[in-house]
Structure 1
Amino acid sequence: MTTSIIERPAAPEAPAPPSRSGSRFQRWLASWRVSLKMARRDALRYKGRSVLVLIMVALPVGLIVAGLTFASTSTRSTAEKLPWLLGNGQAIILGISPDVVEQGVDGNNSWSTSDGTEHPPTAKRIPGLTDDGTLAQRTKALGAIVPGTLVPVQTGEFRWTDLTRRPYGTVMFIDPSVDLGPKLHLVSGRWPASNDEIVVTPAGLHNGLPGDGTLELNAGETRRQITIVGIADVFDTDMGMPYAMTTAAWDERNVYSTSWIVKRSTPMSWAEVRKLNGYGLAITSADVVAHPPPASEMPGQGYDAQRQMDTETKVMAAIFGAVLFLVTALLVGPAFAVSAGRQRRSLALAASNGAEVRQLRRSVLAGALILGVLAAVAGAALGAASVAAGAAVWRGIRPWSTLVGPFDIPMIAVIIVLICAVLAALTAAMIPALRLGRLDIVGVMKGQNVSPPHNRILPFVGLALFALGAAGLFLAVTANATAPGVAGVFGLVGGAICVIPLGLVWAGRLAGRFPVAVRMATRDAARQRHRSAPTVAALMAGAALLATFAIALESNSRFEAKHYQPQTVAGEGTLWSAESEYPTLIKQITTLAPTWRVVEERAVQGDYTGNTAPTSEPFVVVVPPGCSTAQALPQLDDGSAPPPEQPAADPCRTVTSIGYLPGATRYGVTVVPAAEIARRLQLPKADAAAVAGGAVLVGDEALIKGGTVTLAMGSATNDPKSGTQSDPKVTTTKQVPAIAISESAYQRAAVESRTGLVIPTEVAGDINLQTAPSSLHVYDTRGAITKADQKKVAEQLANSGVNVERGYERPDKWLMLGVLGITGFLLVTVTLISTALALAEQQADMGTLAAVGATKGTRRRFAAAQAATVALLGGLLGIAIGLVAGVAIAWPTTTTWWDDLGPHKVAPTIGIPVLPILIIVLGVPLIAATIAAASIRRAPHVTRRGN
């Protein structure tokens, strides 16, 4: 038997490795091209996840771009104001000052040259210009130094009769025969030929003025019948639309602003503006606005103020950009973490077949690039479009409104936002991409995916970063430094992120005493930190935003409330009007509100009801014990220059009704009926009887000696033209019984804070002290004046309104609600999407729990506990960031208080709002838990693992 041996054929040679043709750049580009194609296919395959990623990126971008666009649209630049401000004129004279004026490009931004330590230089005299001259005389005098035709523009107010109401309205006085272009536009009818006729604007129609017929109105002390001859669009110098327009003022005493439009063929240069500033004129020139002067030609104070504003703007822009970048990166973090989790198996297969780590990372980053660019552009477009639509609707409904101007998108700011959003998306994707260098291929293929043990050094690094970030943020807002601000934001957020892994581990350990579902959920979140940490970070970002804004606004409101100075007793009112109108007002009030009582408060002053001012001015001063009458006389404002430095308070100059007392705080004099003094100050019976018997009240008990105070009375020479007094002469000195005013009376505003002497009206008559009405006080015998009664009386009074003291009313209430609404919406949306993404990756785990017998209730409790755990941890870390950032913002803004005596350094006011904190700590975890529990399916897949 023959045996044949057959040789095994040799194995074919291994193919040669592919040649690395092309340059390094071409290979890099080809790699990215492949990654982008794969990312596009993956985004289309998982449409639901892609939509959630788009929302998480587009939402903050859209809100920010909408806010920037609205701010730019609602804030008119000086160039955008010109058509309303001066029409087709070359310039407008906005005001006349007795001192030399310094101004910026816009004449509205003008000031005296005084810096507070020396008397400002007196402006050059304008020949023929006098304070008591008529409008025609003043226009002629200005025309002598300002070439061109001057068109006067005046604004005032009036009241008209509308059945039982007498509403207020604003009116502009201008000659409509002069062509002013867009400033005056006739809609229907004709222009008025005299001030017996008016045209009504859309704003007037909206507020109740009729469009035709006749109207009875009051302007100052003038009452007349006018005829409505048309409807027109008219714009005043305050960038608003008055209710009506006519040719000339009905009563000069009712005009509160006068300006002159300069019409000529040649523009007004910056050199001419500065020359006219020397005459005390503040001017806005169209040519200067179009061609602003260089900074070297700006006045010193204007340049310094602009530089300070630019510095503060740069600091806030840098901090804002850093916050935008970090918040967007954290918000989209869960999306890309889940995306990387879904790709783990395919990436592991690619790695097992020889794919390099950098190729794997590019595949993850490509998805972020595609979705990030698309979401950022879509969010910016939707944000800008929403503002454009809202502005168009608002402008159509209220064409007179100054809330919105020409639609304007701040392109530079929007581009910066888009770049930050894309970079944030790439940064968020970079975190899971970096982990691919430690990809456990075998573990992933077997379905095992547990986070490695947490780094024990990382939390200490985080605490150090957090502390350094807090210091940097405080330094930035106190020293206007940009770099520390940006570093502070990154330090705060980066430090908090470093603490997240330890927080999840601690949560797992602390859950040992909880029910089994809660215990399993928290421990699973601790083990799967690659999935739960990004969700915590996203919720932390939203919570930090809400906490920061809420703390900053609450601190500012408490600061304002702490230093709020009431004007009168709470629930009572005050009226001011011309002295001749007081009898009519008192009669009207008692008729309209029978339960109200009206009390006349008087001041020590001369009779100014005539056509000319008096030549003498009465006065009364308090002579402190140990001081002579001459030493107690005040320093009068006689027009001379004050000393270079304000002298210290003079102990002999304490209370006066004339002149000024350097350093004194309670120096004024008021005259009130004795019964009203007792009621308002809530005096004890003995003090009330003393006041009824002729006692006065003083603010400083040191002025009283032996139960009496010394009053010196006399008169000073009064210059009717300038209104200055000089040469005070004492005619009578009298000692009268006195009582000290309690501090509580000042705090309740029963006595005005600057009042140092309260004289009963009866005593003023006994000592022959000349007085005149200064205001009317009203109160309701039933209690505090209601808003309904206040409105009813104010609408029917002849020429005055009622100001009722209702305590501090928060001016930023709507801003606070808006911030809470926007950030709350953002926070809830982040919670919804983050929870949904986390649950999407937990489907295999839920299937495993169902396979081993877990009921639907157990699985729901498991999901709810895990969502609540990450939401609570994110909320607590967000509050920690918000506390530091909010306090850093509030600290410098609540340490300086301004009053009549200037700035005062005070202790900072820090307010912690309860409602937003509760929303973060309780509301968000409850929402997340509810959503997670409701998302559990009745019949999960139990026959397969993974995707």
Structure 2
Amino acid sequence: MSALVAALRIARRTAWRSRGRSALIMVMIGLPVLVITGVFTLTETMYVTAREGVVAELGTADARLVRTPEGTVLRQQPNGAGWSRGGGDGTAAPELGSAEVAALLGPGTRLVPFSTGVLRLGAERVDAVETDLRDPLTRGMLALTEGRFPAAREVAVTPALGLRPGDLLRPSGAAPLTVAGVVEHPHRPSLREVVGPDLPLEPMDDGFSFSRYGPGWLADTAEPVTWVDVPALNAAGLYVTSRAALPDSPRSLVRFSSLDVQHTVGLGAMVIMLVLETALLAGPAFAVGLRRRRRELAEITAQGGSARHLRTIVLVDGLVLGGAATVVATLLGVGAGVLGAQVAARWGGQVGPAEVPWAPVLGVATLGLITGIAAALVPAVQAARQDTVTVLSGRASGVADRPGWPLAGAVLVLAGLGATVVARRQPGLVWVWASALLVMIGLVVLTPWLVRCTGRVATRLRLPLRMAVRDAVRHRSRTASAVAAVMAVTATVVAMGIGAHSEFMDQRDAYTSARPTGTLAIWGGPMGDATWDRLRAEAVRRLPGVPLAAGYHAEDAQGHRYALRYKVRWNGTRTRRTAAIGDQALLRLLQGRHDPRAAAALASGKAVVFDPAAVRDGKLALRASSTSGPARRLEVPAVAATPAGEHQGGALLPRALVERAGFATAERQLYAMHQPPAGSTLARDLARVTPRVTVASEQGYRNVPEPGLWGWLAGALVLVVGGTLAATRLAAADMRPDRATLLAVGARSGTLRMVVAGQALYISGLGALVGLVAGTVTGVALTRPMTTHGAGDPATIAVPWPFVIAVVVGLPALATVAALITRTRLPLARRLV
């Protein structure tokens, strides 16, 4: 029998005999593999390519055509679509009918009406499709799960609406519709949609998308509709989705490029960090097995086994457990990803056919196998160096430090710190993380020396803690692995916390608006005075009792519309603002109060500027630009004033000042301190007067502060507490004779618990403190590429103190409390007399 086969049999037998320890190792190695594999599979399954979704989009039709609003200039290309609004006075243009569209597509074309919009059900609005699902062209778009497809005055609904066949649907302002059937979208099970041949559709006001909303048709053509035919259809005001002109999209979302240096370095750093962290966490568990098997290994040596044989036996343990963990985790990850995609789609989103990106999944599985072997590497070296006579006589083995390791660790740490200083000024985060990895490896090498140095404080501690610290120092190889694991987790989480919080604070400080929070703005596009008067009258009617402040636009003698803009640096970023034109009413709205000084300046023909840095020597430099006329540069008298909001900027120009510069002014804007209620139809009501109107509401900065930080804290909780308890369990096993002696001389159970808890506190506390220092250095370095926007922009550094305290203080405290409840009663040990 070969040595490898014998080692495999021994490893299998040992794994089965110590099932608890084997399960712990498999969980530590397999959990990252399961999570990453599940994420890859879920992402791939939830991504529906254009080819996969073509049946749900077109049924059996060759193309879908959507009629765009009048005045729209549409340009579709294989890589996307661009559109703009043309000029005019808001008058409607002739719309194409079915006959004209069929003529554009050629002889033999058959069209089926297919219009999308929304249906109002009281205060609720749901997506709706007006088409006949009984037509063969719609086959495959929706699957019938209950009832039948609807006929006239009937509808089909998706399951998310909670209706059954025979129920009544009551659209606002229309006769009730009978539910004939329940249908389900093949890729969007959470979709809330109503489908019927005659629906009272309402157009979409916001989130407009030609590919989703609008009146149109499904077309069955004699010849495929290709990209050659698209420009002519665009010119006729039709948005085209064709089976023969689908954009090409890659199947796999998980791709790696060997030509991208930053990508390669980042991927390598991530792989090394993952292997290092998992090996450090699983290392103490392998050390537990080595402690329990050292007599068995010594007997193998006594019977002729060599050091190479002992290394092979322990490494094969890692191979067997890592391989088993990888296989199980990969299978569970693939299953969890496919199942998770189905569940996630029920809550929102879409799902396609089950897809597994085998190349990255197999790469992750290989990584898990390597991690298992790496975790067993240090115990394997220790097994090969153990003294056979010492072990067989029952004495504890001495610990010998390697004198060159502290120096090597210090060199790595200093090199990493130097690289961090350089990387901080490089674009992107990859180089900072690569430098942080160098620091982390150096600290791992330094950890045994740190353990030995900190052990000197044991003389000042109470007996239980003194015994715990001295035992930790005496077994530095065991303790260092657990301390390094806690250090790596803490450093990573603290660095991520500082970087993410600094980025959030920078984004919050960088947020700026030209109007106070709570402002409603109505902007009119190119239109005549008569159309604007109708639009203004409709706004006054729809907003009874709401004071409206007027704004104006500037135009030259030829009728070219101009925007008056200036540049200012805001939070380190060069920002371009458009100056408003208005009177005292608009000034009071922008300031939120009456400011006599600003009001007097505006009345005297000066600009009122809310960006003090833009005013130089009492002047504001403006650039008047137009899409159809020559640009001009102006310099106008200005005064700085205080706006209503902290993050508000902008400027207000009096009409007289603009007119003296050679422009004419015309009222085309309305402003009010008013927030429309949810479900407001104001935008749709004004769009009925003219589609060249924009309604906007200033909501202020809305981002939630770092919701992902507490997810990092949860992950750190599992890793820190789990790794600490694994090492504590090993320490408790090693201290069995000492604890038995304490028990024999009458020590209380609380004293025994304090000894075990002292080990947990020492391991987690030392790891957290060292990790705090390393994580702070990396986090501060991350702030520069994450928060700077130019060469002269200083980095924003913000420390999330509650989060850092929870990680550095809370997690060690929690690990200590968990160790306190560990069972400590021991049977009386047998002693030699």
* Common fold by TM > 0.5: yes
Of residues 127, 138, 161, the one that matches 1:180 is: 138
Of residues 725, 735, 742, the one that matches 1:849 is: 742
Of residues 480, 488, 494, the one that matches 1:547 is: 494
Question: Residues of 1 paired with 2:108 and 2:439: CA distance?
Answer: 60
Question: Residues of 2 paired with 1:308 and 1:365: CA distance?
Answer: 32
TM-score of the pair, normalised by structure 1: 0.69
Question: Residues of 2 paired with 1:339 and 1:557: CA distance?
Answer: 46
The secondary structure found in structure 1 opposite 2:580 is strand
The secondary structure found in structure 2 opposite 1:602 is strand
Tell me what 1:127 maps to: none
Tell me what 2:550 maps to: 602
Tell me what 1:924 maps to: 811
Whether the 8 Å CA contact 2:48–2:350 is kept in 1: the answer is no
Structure 2 CA distance for partners of 1:374 and 1:755, relative to 1, 3 Å: same
The secondary structure found in structure 2 opposite 1:770 is strand
Q: Deviations over 1:91-128 (max 9, x none)?
A: 6679999687664xxx44x679xxxxxxxxx9xxxxxx
Tell me what 2:733 maps to: 840
TM-score of the pair, normalised by structure 2: 0.77
Of residues 737, 740, 747, the one that matches 2:639 is: 740
Q: Deviations over 1:61-86 (max 9, x none)?
A: 22332333333333334443333333
Structure 2 CA distance for partners of 1:942 and 1:745, relative to 1, 3 Å: same
Structure 2 CA distance for partners of 1:284 and 1:696, relative to 1, 3 Å: same
Query: Are 1:212 and 2:212 an aligned pair?
Result: no
Whether the 8 Å CA contact 2:163–2:179 is kept in 1: the answer is no
Cα deviation, residue 87, structure 1? 3.5
Question: Residues of 2 paired with 1:706 and 1:926: CA distance?
Answer: 60
Tell me what 1:55 maps to: 27
Question: Residues of 1 paired with 2:719 and 2:516: CA distance?
Answer: 43
% same residue: 25
Residue type matched to 1:847 in 2? A
The secondary structure found in structure 1 opposite 2:376 is helix
Cα deviation, residue 156, structure 1? 3.8
Whether the 8 Å CA contact 1:846–1:940 is kept in 2: the answer is no
Query: Are 1:39 and 2:11 an aligned pair?
Result: yes
The secondary structure found in structure 2 opposite 1:215 is coil
Tell me what 1:428 maps to: 375
Tell me what 2:289 maps to: 339
Structure 2 CA distance for partners of 1:940 and 1:758, relative to 1, 3 Å: farther
Structure 2 CA distance for partners of 1:449 and 1:917, relative to 1, 3 Å: farther
Q: Deviations over 1:14-42 (max 9, x none)?
A: xxxxxxxxxxxxx7xx1111111111111
Query: Are 1:522 and 2:409 an aligned pair?
Result: no
Query: Are 1:686 and 2:596 an aligned pair?
Result: yes
Whether the 8 Å CA contact 1:93–1:284 is kept in 2: the answer is yes
Query: Are 1:677 and 2:623 an aligned pair?
Result: no
Tell me what 1:770 maps to: 666
Query: Are 1:65 and 2:12 an aligned pair?
Result: no
Cα deviation, residue 846, structure 1? 1.8
Residue type matched to 2:743 in 1? A
Question: Residues of 2 paired with 1:446 and 1:836: CA distance?
Answer: 24
Question: Residues of 1 paired with 2:650 and 2:615: CA distance?
Answer: 18
Question: Residues of 1 paired with 2:219 and 2:384: CA distance?
Answer: 73
Cα deviation, residue 583, structure 1? 6.2
Residue type matched to 2:140 in 1? P
Question: Residues of 2 paired with 1:823 and 1:275: CA distance?
Answer: 59
Of residues 81, 102, 106, the one that matches 2:53 is: 81
The secondary structure found in structure 2 opposite 1:257 is coil
Cα deviation, residue 444, structure 1? 2.2
Structure 2 CA distance for partners of 1:308 and 1:271, relative to 1, 3 Å: farther
Tell me what 2:789 maps to: 896
Q: Deviations over 1:775-805 (max 9, x none)?
A: 44227xxxxxxxxxx7xx3246665799875
Whether the 8 Å CA contact 1:99–1:280 is kept in 2: the answer is yes
Alignment of 1:505-904 (within 5 A): 505-566=452-513, 568-570=515-517, 572-574=518-520, 576=522, 598-604=546-552, 619=555, 665-671=576-582, 674=584, 677-678=587-588, 680-682=590-592, 686-687=596-597, 690=600, 697-699=607-609, 740-742=639-641, 744-745=643-644, 747-749=646-648, 753-757=649-653, 770-778=666-674, 793-795=677-679, 807-811=700-704, 813-851=706-744, 854-883=747-776, 886=779, 891-896=784-789
The secondary structure found in structure 2 opposite 1:455 is coil
The secondary structure found in structure 1 opposite 2:802 is helix
Question: Residues of 2 paired with 1:366 and 1:499: CA distance?
Answer: 28
The secondary structure found in structure 2 opposite 1:912 is coil
Further displaced range: 433-442 or 908-917: 908-917
Tell me what 2:529 maps to: none
Q: Deviations over 1:741-768 (max 9, x none)?
A: 425557443xxx45442669xx99xx99
Q: Deviations over 1:162-215 (max 9, x none)?
A: 2xxx3344344556546133324455454465xxx6746437726999952432
Cα deviation, residue 335, structure 1? 0.8
Question: Residues of 1 paired with 2:618 and 2:771: CA distance?
Answer: 62
Cα deviation, residue 438, structure 1? 2.4
Question: Residues of 1 paired with 2:245 and 2:708: CA distance?
Answer: 36
Structure 2 CA distance for partners of 1:705 and 1:37, relative to 1, 3 Å: closer
Cα deviation, residue 242, structure 1? 5.7
How many aligned residue pairs are there? Answer: 782
Structure 2 CA distance for partners of 1:386 and 1:840, relative to 1, 3 Å: farther
Whether the 8 Å CA contact 1:66–1:386 is kept in 2: the answer is yes
CA RMSD of aligned residues (A): 5.4
Whether the 8 Å CA contact 2:129–2:195 is kept in 1: the answer is yes
Question: Residues of 2 paired with 1:925 and 1:265: CA distance?
Answer: 73
The secondary structure found in structure 2 opposite 1:415 is helix
Q: Deviations over 1:264-318 (max 9, x none)?
A: 5766778888999999999776567698799xxxxxxxxxx99899776655544
Residue type matched to 1:742 in 2? A
Q: Deviations over 1:145-164 (max 9, x none)?
A: 99976778654446x352xx
Alignment of 1:89-128 (within 5 A): 89-90=61-62, 103=78, 107-108=79-80
Larger Rg: 1
The secondary structure found in structure 2 opposite 1:170 is strand
Structure 2 CA distance for partners of 1:84 and 1:210, relative to 1, 3 Å: same
Structure 2 CA distance for partners of 1:405 and 1:142, relative to 1, 3 Å: farther
Tell me what 1:8 maps to: none
Cα deviation, residue 525, structure 1? 0.9
Tell me what 1:499 maps to: 446
Tell me what 1:783 maps to: none
Of residues 330, 348, 352, the one that matches 1:380 is: 330
Residue type matched to 1:134 in 2? E
Residue type matched to 1:458 in 2? W
Structure 2 CA distance for partners of 1:478 and 1:466, relative to 1, 3 Å: same
Structure 2 CA distance for partners of 1:794 and 1:415, relative to 1, 3 Å: same
Query: Are 1:202 and 2:158 an aligned pair?
Result: yes
Structure 2 CA distance for partners of 1:405 and 1:317, relative to 1, 3 Å: farther
Question: Residues of 1 paired with 2:125 and 2:164: CA distance?
Answer: 10
Question: Residues of 2 paired with 1:320 and 1:142: CA distance?
Answer: 58
The secondary structure found in structure 2 opposite 1:871 is helix
Question: Residues of 2 paired with 1:451 and 1:135: CA distance?
Answer: 92
Question: Residues of 2 paired with 1:451 and 1:142: CA distance?
Answer: 93
Question: Residues of 1 paired with 2:539 and 2:519: CA distance?
Answer: 14
Whether the 8 Å CA contact 1:329–1:421 is kept in 2: the answer is no
Q: Deviations over 1:381-417 (max 9, x none)?
A: 333434444444455x55xx31544443332222222
Cα deviation, residue 562, structure 1? 1.9
The secondary structure found in structure 1 opposite 2:140 is helix
Cα deviation, residue 356, structure 1? 0.7
Structure 2 CA distance for partners of 1:150 and 1:876, relative to 1, 3 Å: farther
Cα deviation, residue 336, structure 1? 0.8
Whether the 8 Å CA contact 2:416–2:435 is kept in 1: the answer is yes
Residue type matched to 1:771 in 2? E
The secondary structure found in structure 1 opposite 2:356 is coil
